[in-house]
Amino acid sequence: QFADKAFAGVTVLKTAHLENNRLTQLPRNFPFDKMETLTLSRNTWHCNCQLAQLRKWLKGNRTRTEDTCSTPAQYRGQSIRDTPALRTCKLPTKRSKKGSRH
């Protein structure tokens, strides 16, 4: 398990190999922006909206991945990329700091 702020200040991470770690979630501040290679297989992913950014990254990359949900039970075995568990999640938006002060 990662601490909530495990990736605070990390801006240029390009590769992460996280397979075989019994992970259920990634921290909300996981640095997907520059990520090129991410291996996540053989973890016990809990497919809820906290994985929405991961799903967006998977859809935007041609990475072949076997990453599947372990829980909740109705989504077990479904790929994170395609599971309906994440289809209605809203992604956080980065607010522009320009013009925010009057």
Note down pLDDT in tens along the chain; length 102 residues: 888 889 999 989 999 999 999 999 999 899 999 999 999 999 999 999 999 999 999 988 876 667 899 999 999 999 999 999 999 998 866 554 444 444
**Spatial CA neighbour of 69 closest among 57, 82, 56:** 82
Distance CA 73, CA 82 (A): 16
Contact 55, 80 (CB under 8 A): yes
15: closest CA among 40, 42, 47? 40
Token pair 């075989």 in the structure block, residue: 20
Residue 92 burial (CB count, 10 A): 8
